[in-house]
Amino acid sequence: MKREALIAQIKAKKSVLCVGLDTDMDKLPMGVSKTIEGMLTFNKAIINATSEYAVSYKINTAFYEPYGAAGWQCMAETLAAIPNNCFTIADAKRGDIGNTSSMYAKTFFQNMSFDSITVAPYMGEDSLKPFFQFKDKWVICLALTSNTGSQDFQILEYNNTKLYETVMQKVSSWGNPENLMFVIGATKANDLKLIREAYPNHFFLVPGVGTQGGTVKDVCDNALTDFGGVLINASRSILYASAKIDFAEAAANEAKKLRDEMAVYF
């Protein structure tokens, strides 16, 4: 998906909502079988219920890969159920030596046709370069994440520069605002403002809203731009808004609530 198409959806829906399809079979609601078939039924219901409010969907591959070929098929059918006007993210966090990354890129961009993939930059330029070779596809690079362990490496300083800042500086020279986003956790509100000032034209994928404690207001106040500039991901708070047969209606209500919080900024 081209940048212009994503921005058009954001403005049309007055939303920067990304729904995370981190579907846990053990948490499927009442009336949905705890099987691969049940996961797909659940995903389709969630997509149908939330597509009015969401501009993006993020499929976390880890929740499908344990089931082997059937899990990959479920992922593919889930991807196919997402409306064409929504931006799709393979949350795979790949990153390896060049020839291996080339295969990862072909898997998610060529064979499965995701719009984007999350990547881990630790191995450097040659590990990410293959992902940048695909036209109208996006690399979403981990930068400053919302988990507790982000303290272990990401904020360490060398020559008065934090590691995540070095990562962003380097990676931004390999891509551009047309094909590169960064992952910035919603629980890092103070950092978000400074990062936005340093990167005014890039999109940020922002997880951590809802269950993890981040808020739409914090993200929008510190990082929203006139073109949108963020995709705010919510997963568990939408997926598991209800454990009963009304799960899809509850998911729609939660997605609408988040979208309405975003709409006041447009």
Positions marked active-site: 93
Best CA proximity match to 181, nearest among 56, 62, 63 = 56
Question: How would you classify the pairing of strands 157-158 and 161-162?
Answer: antiparallel
CA distance 230 to 228: 6
CA distance 92 to 28: 22
Contacts of residue 207, Cβ cutoff 8 Å, sequence gap at least 6: 20, 145, 146, 183, 185, 186, 214, 233, 235
Best CA proximity match to 181, nearest among 111, 217, 132, 221 = 132
246 phi/psi in degrees, rounded to 5: -90, 20
134 phi/psi in degrees, rounded to 5: -95, 125
Question: How would you classify the pairing of strands 116-119 and 87-94?
Answer: parallel
Summarize the chain as % helix, strand, coil (round to 5): 45, 20, 35
